[in-house]
Amino acid sequence: MTRTVLIRVASLVPLVILASFITFSLLQLTETDPAIVRLGDDATEEAYESFREQIGVNDTFVVQYGRWLGNAATGDLGESWNGPNQVSQLLKERLSVTFSLALGGLFVAATIGMVLGIAAGVRAGRATDSVITAAASTGQAIPNFWVGILLVAFVALPYDVFPATAYTGPTESVKDWLISITLPSIALGTAAAAAIARQTRAAFVRVLHEPYIRTALSVGLSRRSILYRTALRNASIPVVTSAATLFGVLLGGAVIVEAVFAYPGLGSLVLEAIQNGDLPVVLGFVFVAAVGVALVQLLLDITYTVIDPRTRVS
């Protein structure tokens, strides 16, 4: 098991590094001059030049990227062009909001989606299934930030249970944190739950056609045991596999949904950075997102090897 985990880690690290390299290269396309970003329009050419020298943008591309990557490995994502702040510090302050929402969304999506998907799969071809399938097809089309807007307009503002704008960090109060991420998580999770429900149903139906289900039946196992042990475990494999991609989608969605609730997350930080031409922050943002997705992927990979022993490395 340890070995399996180590091998998964070893394959995810190069992926994240390559992702950072691609983003780093991409941001070289910009015409933004960091010296102007920091010093404004009216500084002297010498001042500009010495600033460029100081932050190292005059070095070759390879040297710049090598330095960035070396620092990133120690948790240092460089200095913001816009001010003396460390990018990692800026991101750290905002990280909790966006990741809380994305994980909350994943939780909502996974629980609701699995339950509905199983309910539909078990009763496939009957009324329950038709209703759930129709609801899932519909739910998948609802834009998450619009759900957020509606929740703010029709739930948070009229009733005084959930905050419309105030985010509370989990370190301050777990209860308030949970309350503050409930509505955004629902907003994010709705369409994702619909997607998981459809996927679970499809996987379930496919598994029920496998010959080993017939064997289980012929051996005399109960319907319950076949559905909820044999079939469910087999059907959950494709769902778990795709959940990492879904987490990426939710992380992107969280950037927009947090704007609906005016939560101070990565989204508002990066929007400000784009307006200011503060590219190290943008790069840091992409890097953090990629690392986040990779970590979730790792967790899911481990779950996956628990469910499906065939994937274990021996």
Please report, as residue ranges, which positions from 134 to 193 form the binding site for another protein (by CB under 8 A): 137-138, 140-143, 145-146, 149-150, 152-154, 157
We find the least distance from the C-beta atom of residue 257 to another protein, in angstroms, to be: 9
Phi, psi values for residue 29, rounded to 5°:
-65, -20
Q: At what angle do helices 174-208 and 127-140 cross, to 10 degrees?
A: 120
CA angle centred on 270, ends 64 and 191, rounded to 5°: 125
Total binding residues toward another protein, as defined by CB under 8 A = 87
Does residue 286 interact with another protein by CB under 8 A?
yes
* C-alpha distances out from residue 116 to 60, 84, 133, 198, 200, Å: 54, 50, 9, 9, 8
Q: Specify the residue, 74 or 209, whose C-beta has the smaller distance to another protein.
A: 209
- Write out the binding residues for another protein, residues 74-113 only, by CB under 8 A: none
> Which of 197/270 has CB closer to another protein?
270
Q: Kindly state whether residue 211 participates in binding another protein, applying the rule CB under 8 A.
A: yes
CB of 311 to another protein, least distance (A): 11
Residue list 15-74, contact with another protein (CB under 8 A): 15-16, 18-19, 21-23, 26-30
Give the whole-angstrom CA distance, residue 23 versus residue 153: 37
Choose one: 33-41, 111-119, 168-176, 277-285; the region binding another protein (CB under 8 A).
277-285
The separation between CA 308 and the C-alpha centre of its own chain, rounded to angstroms, equals 24
Q: Is residue 1 close enough to count as binding another protein by CB under 8 A?
A: no
State yes or no: residue 130 binds another protein (CB under 8 A).
no
* Strand spans (E) along 99-224: none
What residues from 230 to 259 belong to the interface with another protein (CB under 8 A)?
230, 233-234, 245, 248-249, 251-253, 255-256, 259
> What is 128-156 written as a DSSP string?
HHHHHHHHHHHHHTS-HHHHHHHHIIIII
Q: Is 302 in the site for another protein (CB under 8 A)?
A: no
DSSP track, 60-94: -HHHHHHHHHHHHHTT---B-SSSS-BHHHHHHHH
Minimum distance between the CB of residue 302 and another protein, rounded to whole angstroms? 16
